[in-house]
Amino acid sequence: MKKATKVFFVSVLLLGILVGCLNKQSTTNEGAGGGGSQKTYKWIAHSPWPEGTALQLLAEEIAKDITEASGGRLQVEMHAAGEIVQPTELLDAVENGTVDAIHSWDGYWVGKIPQVALFASVPMGMNEQEYLGWITTDEGRELWQEAYDQAGYNLKILDSGPGTPEIFYHSNVPIRTLEDFKGLKVRAVGDWGAILERVGASVVSISSPELYQSLERGVVDAVEFSGPASNLPLGFHEIAKYLITPSIHQPSSVSSFIINQEKWDELPDDLKQIVRLATENMWGKGFAMVAKEDFEAMDEYRKLEEEGKIEIVKFEEESQKELKTIIDEYYEERAADDELFKRIWESQQDYLVEYKYWKDLMTPAH
């Protein structure tokens, strides 16, 4: 009897040790679906933005926030335009695994996925608050991912905040009316390029690292790139006297953080949540950061105008009304030819009807 009891207690002790070992091993080996893995990961990320611009600052801020919030378990190394691949090659690079993630603006990919133009920006379209509401609380996110899935890409799409209004153009000639666009060689991308062709402009597609030289050499008469804080350090004002406002072509925009699907799938759930929160946080943090830099840069442009070095030109209101009609017609035509484009466009318009009814009633006239 004593011997049996002794064997029993020894067996229980061994079982306890074995269960403890198994539990420890299970915790250590938790995979992508778990939330406690201490395995570390490193992503090579890339942007199309030149070093030193406000846009590159946003890309680097996301990389820093993910790295720090994860305690170094997910390290994101962000590269600027051209360091590994050229800006126009970034979508293919993240798809084939040359890089693990990209910070981008989807207007660059309309030749491959036409519908994503509506997420990048719409000329005289949604502002940053309207994009925020539609993407994060309505149908935007699901439709955005659907566009990439339908085009056959194996990528995870995350929204990463709005851009501030862009400078309309840096130009060698004043652009005050629609007539001034006729025959003018201008840099434009995506749908905005197609719209400008309707008003008689000669549209040239140029990647961001080549903009200054193209303007300097007369390849184009006018360039658009980004907001004041990104444009000022690139020096367009040194070779083009006229700065054209307001931001007709891009009153707001939305950045994307696009991840290779395999790299996304291998992350544990808690790291996925950190990436989601870091990118979503840029709706407030990123906009505020760049807006501050933008109005400070715009003050520098004001000083340059006072010194007689540049002239700030406002595109006339009557031409703005005419252009708005042309823009709406263009998108209605696009929607008629593409079922997914139509669903996205109509989803935006439906959201705007309700949003503007509320916003207009609640906003003071003065």
CB 205 within 8 A of CB 88: no
Residue 254: count of CB within 10 angstroms of its CB: 26
Residue 157, token pair as written in the block: 């799409």
pLDDT at 189: 86
Burial of 266-304, coded b for 16+ CB within 10 Å and e otherwise, reads: ebbeebbebbeebbbbbbebbbebbbebbeebbeebeeb
CB 158 within 8 A of CB 259: yes
pLDDT at 8: 36
Among 31, 328, 323, CA closest to 179: 323
Ramachandran category for residue 164: left, alpha or beta (phi over 0 → left; psi -120 to 50 → alpha): beta
Q: Rounded to whole angstroms, how far apart are CA atoms 1 and 343?
A: 79
CB 47 within 8 A of CB 103: yes
Secondary structure element (H or E) that encloses residue 306, with its range: helix 285-306
Among 19, 94, 90, 132, CA closest to 261: 94
Provide the residue-wise pLDDT of the chain in tens; the chain has 366 residues: 433 434 333 343 333 433 344 343 433 334 444 455 689 999 999 999 999 888 999 999 999 999 999 999 999 999 999 999 999 999 999 999 999 999 999 999 999 999 999 999 999 999 999 999 999 999 999 999 999 999 999 999 999 999 999 999 999 999 999 999 999 999 998 899 999 999 999 999 898 889 999 999 999 999 999 999 999 999 999 999 999 999 999 999 999 999 999 999 999 999 999 999 999 999 999 999 999 999 999 999 999 999 999 999 999 999 999 999 999 999 999 999 999 999 999 999 999 999 999 999 999 989
Among 40, 108, 110, 119, CA closest to 73: 40
Q: Which amino acid does the sequence have at 27? A: T
Note if the pTM is more than 0.75.
yes
Q: Which amino acid does the sequence have at 220? A: V
DSSP 8-class letter at 236: G
What string of DSSP letters covers 288-300?
Answer: HHHHHHHHHHHHH
